Amino acid sequence: ILIMTPVLMPVIKAAGIDPVYFGVLFIINNAIGLITPPVGTVLNVVAGVGRMKMDEVTRGVIPFMAAQFAVMFLMVLFPSIVIVPARWFAGG
């Protein structure tokens, strides 16, 4: 996040994409990446700490992963889900 955000932000602004919208999608994408096998860092930590097999941890995470994919799909399909509440809190 700390490396890619400053690199991508000028591109996002030049493309005319709302920075708040990009930020929310970027964080959700990162969260999905942390629990997606086989490289999911969070999966490896949970499997190690819980002394469980990666298969068990992955099976337990699948419903949450599906929910995150659904939320991401809806936010991409309907950007107002992100932009409208952001405007409410920004006062504009």
Mean pLDDT of the chain: 91
pLDDT tens digits for range 2-34: 999 999 999 999 999 999 999 999 999 999 998
Distance CA 56, CA 72 (A): 25
**48: which residues sit within 8 A by CB, 6+ positions away?**
none
CB neighbour class for 36 (10 Å; exposed up to 12, middle 13-18, buried from 19): middle
Percent of the chain with pLDDT over 90: 68
Domain ranges of the chain: 18-90
Cβ atoms within 10 Å, residue 77 = 8
Record the pTM: 0.82
